[in-house]
Each structure stands twice: as structure tokens, then as C-alpha cells.
Amino acid sequence: MVQIKMKSYFLIVFLCMLTAIFLGVYAQSIASIFTDDWYMVMLTATTIISIILFAIAIIMQFMILISEKVKSRLSSIILTTSLLMTVIISLYISWWSFFILAMSWG
């Protein structure tokens, strides 16, 4: 039962990260699909959703790491490394997305 729950947590984290990376990198392209009236609204929305998804992924990984369900030291090291990589990737992509948003706002 615990293994199934942990696998579903990892799947949610993976999907959050994948979606957040896609939205963060391609926010301007996604927003350009809409008319000029909705361009800034969609760019702002995709940027905010991307940052929220990154935050969800980081919080879930941190909750998994601090829970007592991870017993192996190797698993703990892998989770810590994964959390660190997630934070680095999320900071880079969030800053890039925020930069694009700020430049579009003028």
C-alpha cells in the first residue's frame, strides 16, 4: 500500500515538473495563439501556473523526504539530489519565464 502511494506521489511530481517546464519555456508561444487582447492575460496566467506547479513539485518532494517512509540511506540521498535539481531547474525556468513576462509588460 505504501509503495503504491509513493509511486503515485512520484508520478504527480513528475507530471507537475513536466507541465511546469513546458508552460515556463513555451509561455510566450502559448500566449501568441490568442488575440492581442488576451495575449498578456494568457502570458501572465501561464507564468503563474508554471511557478505554482514548480512549488507543488518542490513541496511534495520535501514532504516525501521528511516523512519517515524513506528508510534507505541511498534512497534518501537520491531524493535529496532530486529535490536539489528540482529547485535549480525551477528557479532557472521561473526566472526566465518571469523575465519574458516583465519584458512583455514593458
Phi, psi of 97 (to 5 degrees): -65, -40
- Model confidence over 85-101: pLDDT tens digits? 999 999 999 999 999 99
Between 63 and 17, the higher pLDDT residue: 17
Cα end-to-end span (Å), the chain: 52
pTM: 0.87
Residue spans of the domains in the chain: they are 12-105
Report pLDDT digits (tens) over 29-78: 999 998 888 999 999 999 999 999 999 999 988 888 887 677 777 777 88
Distance CA 37, CA 15 (A): 30
